[in-house]
Structure 1
């Protein structure tokens, strides 16, 4: 099963039978946010919220990438890792 759109890719991730690695999860999160919201304009999370900081930094790494490119990269990533997690 291959996804062709952002919506299909999101639906496909919900069918994963095991959890992707933290690195893969961060990249999925960041690409999804870039595809749906564009550049990260949120405030940097404070202090000891390491998960929020990791998400923030991951999304920030895609600054300047168009929503279309981020969508394509997200779909491609989901399709490539789905063989491992389904």
Structure 2
């Protein structure tokens, strides 16, 4: 199975995890997904009144420069770990 196929399967699996991950893990999932699917962060950082949007943006921005394939593999590995727990 190619990395792209594994990434697509992990996206499906992420919606059916045995339990909801904590907020920090959810941010990590979001950031790895965005980096793996779209590359480096784009757009303006949300204002301080949008705390959720700002946290998501910051988590994604921390991965700036990470190769898309590396982010996809880390996303797949994280979802697999969460499925097994």
Q: Give the TM-score normalised by the residue count of structure 1.
A: 0.88
What does residue 37 of structure 2 align with? 36
What does residue 54 of structure 2 align with? 53
What does residue 73 of structure 1 align with? 74
Distance 1:24 1:47 in 2: 22
- Give 5+ residue unaligned stretches, structure 2: none
Q: Give the TM-score normalised by the residue count of structure 2.
A: 0.89
Q: What is the aligned residue count? A: 81
> How much is the aligned-residue C-alpha RMSD, in angstroms?
1.1
Moved over 6 A (4+): none
- Give 5+ residue unaligned stretches, structure 1: none
